[in-house]
Amino acid sequence: GNNKAQGARGLRFTPVAPNTADAVTVPEGYRQNVVVRWGEPILRGAPAFDPENQTAAAQAGQFGYNVDFLALLPLKGERGRQVLVANHEYTDEILMFRDYDSENPTREQVEIAWAAHGLAAVVVEEDKKSGKLTPVTRHHLNRRLTVTSEFRLTGPVAGSDLVKTSADPTGRKVLGTLNNCAGGTTPWGTTLHAEENFNQYFANGSSATDKRYGVGTGASGRKWERFDQRFDLAREPNEVHRFGYVVELDPYDPDSTPRKRTALGRFKHEAATVRLTHDGRPVIYSGDDERFDYIYKFVGSKRMRHGNSRAAREHNLTLLDEGTLYVAKLTGDSPALEIDGTGKLPKDGEFDGSGQWIPLATATARGAVSHVEGMTAEEVFVFTRLAGDKVGATKMDRPEDVEPNPVTGKVYVALTNNSHRGVGSNPKADEANPRNANKHGHILELTERWNRPESTKFAWSLFLVAGDPQDPATYFAGFPKDSVSPISCPDNVAFDDHGNLWISTDGAALGSHDGLFGVATRGERRGELKQFLTVPRGAETCGPIIQDRRVLVAVQHPGEVDGASVDNPGSTWPDGPGTYVRPSVVAVWRADGQDIGV
């Protein structure tokens, strides 16, 4: 069995070998089950999944498509149950609809896609005997939020002229959330959902800010603008300013309206993870996933209240509306000529240096103040990327998930890849992004001064430079490379209670499928990276959640390969040939019921 497997505590399992199986492959001695699939009914009255006769009304009561972020929250008084919260980042129409014509989608197809985006809350229950985790359908906390659900804008941008539209002259009420990628769970019992590539849903962008956010000038890929004019920026130029925020959801209150927290800025938010200051104020870390974009943090000015009283809960739901938004600038400590873009270590043996959090704007109850010359506070919070440009923030290799280690306080940033680094007139390699045409990505370790999350100065080093360990340009925190797993394109990250970092990948460029890896961040095994699972063809690995006895991952976009269709899917997971490929959530546990990796 796996009991004898070597490794740091929490990582004692036999690594899964890289492979291209159309399956979820787990270590020897571990078991798995599909917790919930795209299309499974979760709300009262929702019909069973019938993909040949799907309707928008059915989809709105069923689990949505492509899950990225996952959270599991405790559920008091219901033994063996937890609340699973999921982001439905986007839809793969070619795998959802037979004979889909991307030039001429039907209204029904578009409305189904609206209902398959958004968020889901679904109570899940553990079967003690089998170890399986299964949904509790029709639980009163189960919920779907879609592209047509109501959301509220709060914080410094709420009510601003920049977010008023003909349908919403108040600038406070938004329909829908789009492209929620990773996220976070707050210590006050809410979940955060980061709106990422919202640009792709809008047509006919024309402003300089649309361009900076990657909004196209013509028709959108999904043609939603034909069915709701708010997606046509020639008609509603401000609608796009209402997306690109961090959404806060209270999963314990199924009647609550989720809020878009504008004080955290507007960009392609990849994640939103929380650490508290010593006096109880929230600090939220977030990356902007674009080549040459930035790392941000928000430092709240109000203290969290403990306890579950109504007053405490209402107070805590205002924490993310007041505080200061910062962007990161990183400086290397080695001479620039030692960073030649090949990934060779500089003479001091490490890619490392110092950093600074540059304030962009502060939101208070009385109004907001800009710290950026030539931009108002409202402009900073809506056009945050431009503020980062102005203050000279460091252009990174696609910041994905950012996550503080709950054991040490150190913050880890997944920089997934950047094929454009050093190409043409683009910025060249620097110490924090040391490879030109960076195919495999790297992970940054950031230490806030005095280990205080509100510090404006920090130290940093590269924890991991990904790739095939035989490639001399890779680095695993100095651990001997003959016994680590190959890894490429780190994306979502999570921690277990031992302080081990778990990394899921998206777009691995080493010829094998994406997967989930664990690596020790402390002690003599620091840097020993081990692969825990692999996912089916075409999929990325998302989630992940590492509990004592269970690992959860979302298998996102299985079958998404060139030329795929319903009749010729790139994958037949999870239900086999002749079925629709279905993005799903998977649970993994030890057959003997012991804790993961001990």
Contacts with ligand FEO, residue ranges (CB under 6 A)? 68, 89, 181, 196, 270, 289, 400
- Binding status of residue 514 toward Ca ion by CB under 5 A: no
Say how far residue 495 (Cα) sits from the centre of its chain: 14
User: What is the three-class DSSP state of 451?
Assistant: helix
Decide whether 201 or 589 has the Cβ nearer to Ca ion. 201
Amino acid identity, residue 486?
A: P
* Residue 333 interface partner, choices Ca ion, ligand FEO, none, CB cut-off 5-8 Å depending on type: Ca ion
196 binds, among Ca ion, ligand FEO, none (CB under 5 to 8 A by kind): ligand FEO
Stretch 474-513: interaction string toward Ca ion, x if CB under 5 A: -----------------x--------------x-------
Closest by Cα among 2, 3, 8 to 524: 8
- Residue closer to ligand FEO by CB (options 289, 352) is 289
* CA–CA distance, 235 with 171 (Å, rounded to integer): 16
Q: Whose Cβ is closer to ligand FEO: residue 16's or residue 542's?
A: 542
Smallest separation (angstroms) from ligand FEO to the CB of 261: 19
Between 293 and 321, CB nearer to ligand FEO: 293
228 C-beta neighbours (distance < 10 Å), count: 18
Cβ distance to ligand FEO smaller for residue 221 or 480: 221
79 close to 70: Cβ distance less than 8 angstroms: no
Least separation in angstroms between residue 52's CB and ligand FEO is 29
Which stretch, 74-82, 246-254, 351-359, 360-368, contacts Ca ion (CB under 5 A)?
Answer: 351-359
Backbone dihedral angles phi then psi of residue 303, each to the nearest 5 degrees: -85, 140
From the CB of 183, what's the least distance to Ca ion, in Å?
A: 10
- Binding partner of residue 496 among ligand FEO, Ca ion, none, CB cut-off 5 to 8 Å per kind: none
**Under the criterion CB under 5 A, does residue 471 sit at the interface with Ca ion?**
no
The SS3 of residue 443 is strand
Q: Give the pair of three-digit tokens for residue 70.
A: 């996952």
Give me the residue label for tokens 């899921």.
504
> With binding defined as CB under 5 A, does residue 126 bind Ca ion?
no
- The binder of 185, among Ca ion, ligand FEO, none, by C-beta within 5 to 8 A per type, is none
* 270 versus 378: smaller Cβ distance to Ca ion: 270
Residue 430's binding partner out of Ca ion, ligand FEO, none, with CB under 5 to 8 Å set by partner kind: none
For residue 193, the minimal CB distance to ligand FEO (Å) is 12
d(CA 106, CA 109): 5
Q: Which of residues 329-348 bind Ca ion (CB under 5 A)?
A: 333-334, 346, 348
With beta carbons less than 8 A apart as the criterion, state whether 503 and 490 touch.
yes
Return d(Cα 553, Cα 504) in angstroms, integer.
9
- Give CA–CA dist 434/420, Å, rounded: 13
Q: Does 288 interact with Ca ion (rule: CB under 5 A)?
A: no
Q: Which listed range, 9-17, 197-205, 328-336, 436-444, lies at the site for Ca ion (CB under 5 A)?
A: 328-336
CA 381 to CA 370: how far, in whole Å? 9
Q: What share of the chain is helix, strand, coil (3-state, %, to 5)?
A: 15, 35, 55
126 half-sphere exposure, CB direction, 13 A CA radius = 20
Q: Which one, 181 or 494, has the nearer CB to ligand FEO?
A: 181
Name every residue whose Cβ is closer than 8 Å to that of residue 498 and which is 6 or more positions away in sequence: 8, 9, 10, 11, 407
Nearest CB to ligand FEO, comparing residues 287 and 346: 287
Could you tell me the smallest distance in angstroms from the CB atom of residue 206 to ligand FEO? 26
In eight-state DSSP terms, residue 210 is H
**Residues interacting with Ca ion, by CB under 5 A?**
181, 333-334, 346, 348, 350, 352, 400, 491, 506
